[in-house]
Chain A
Amino acid sequence: MTPELPHPHPPRLAAWLVALFTSAAQAESILGDLHEEFFDIVSKAGIASARRWYWRQSAETIAHLASAGFRVAPWSLAGVVLLGFLLRRFDFQLPERIIVAILRAQRPYSNLHYGFYVWQVTYGIPIVGVIQTVLIGCIVAAFAKGREIVATTTLSIVSPFAFLLHFLLVGGQWSNSIFIFPWRFLIIQVENLVGLVIGGVLVREFRSVVARRFSRTSP
């Protein structure tokens, strides 16, 4: 007796990534088309080549949809990215301020919980920094309706260069620290990249859930 073969399904990660870069209405038809062609290829050439085809199509589809996002409304996208950059710029030292305020409030107990105190000093600022960038990512994505991931990814790519340029041209108390502590600048940029995109994904997923619920309840 031959063992029953598992039911083939398209790569979930690829489908999820395509859905992130499309509006809810577009995702329905694009993923449906990819699904239909995937099973056609499975029946003709097998699951391995169908999966390869699906991944290649997904990557090309994401590239086309992202570039279309830039072409359709470049100025509104640029405006949203600028908003995100300004939010990052004005709240640049917010994580430090929050952690310093917490440490000051805990000073009387610092000897009792010294380990926790050191942990906060070491990891507190990067953690608050990530939370801050996630929130900024959410705000940017909320304004970039339908192009949440394109806007947050663009901001996360553009802002390290914009920050560097800003500090080189305008200066400020942080300008020297970039060169004295380059690792600190790198950590902030990684936080930036991850946090902003996570913010975009959260808003995109929230909108997808709302759209699915609305389509189920509407007659």
Chain B
Amino acid sequence: MPDEMVGLRSEESLLTQMHHFFYIVYIMPARDYLGEFEHIVLLTVLRLDDQAYGVTVRREIEARTRREVSIGAIYATLDRLEAKGYVQSRVGGPTAERGGRSKRFFRVTAQGVSAIKHTHRALRSLTEGLALLKTRS
């Protein structure tokens, strides 16, 4: 049995033993579902690996979703994701093609990967058995 499942079982058993409101609230998982755009940005950063910065993230999103996004929307979302601990950023060296300004590279943290998995599980559960969404073979 995976470690996280063992943890979950032991918490469940504790929950049945301890009917204390504050304890129940304490062990409740924090809200780690992602918003639609947060989900898109996080997957894009994951896909770009160590080349994820404003320009590449924006271009990748536009190429894959055919949706025009602004640099400001990308940074506002990345800052929010960084505050939640889902991404980390580091500043690269300045380059001439950027007018002597440096790039800010992003990478997804383990917590971010866990949030993606959590959201995917929820989406899969919601779409399961929906005839409308079945693809034709």
| A interface residue numbers (CB < 8 A to B) | 26, 28-37, 39, 57, 60-65, 67-68, 72
Contact = CB atoms under 8 A, between A and B. Distances in A.
B71 A30 contact: yes
A29 B70 contact: no
Chain B residues touching A, range = 20 to 34
Contacts of B72: 30, 57, 60-65
Given A33-B53, A37-B55, A61-B71, 16 more contacts: A29-B102, A31-B101, A32-B102, A32-B103, A33-B54, A33-B55, A35-B97, A57-B71, A57-B72, A60-B70, A60-B72, A60-B73, A61-B70, A64-B73, A65-B76, A72-B80
The 7 closest A-B pairs by CB, nearest first: A61-B72, A32-B101, A64-B72, A60-B70, A33-B54, A29-B104, A32-B98
For the residues of B in contact with A, the DSSP-based class is helix
B123 to A, nearest CB: 24
A202 B76 CA distance: 24
A206 B104 CA distance: 24
A64 B98 contact: no
A68 B76 CA distance: 6
A65 B54 CA distance: 14
Interface string B62-101: 0000000011110110011001000000010011011101
Nearest to A28: B101
Contact of A30 (B75, B80, B95, B97): B75
A31 to B, nearest CB: 6
A36 B97 contact: yes
Nearest to A22: B75
B76 A29 contact: no
Nearest to A68: B76
B102 A28 contact: yes
A37 B74 CA distance: 14
B56 to A, nearest CB: 9
A172 B71 CA distance: 48
A65 B75 CA distance: 8
A72 B81 CA distance: 12
Contacts of B54: 29-30, 32-33
A17 to B, nearest CB: 12
Contacts of B99: 31-32, 35
Most buried by A among B71, B83, B94, B102: B71
A33 B95 CA distance: 11
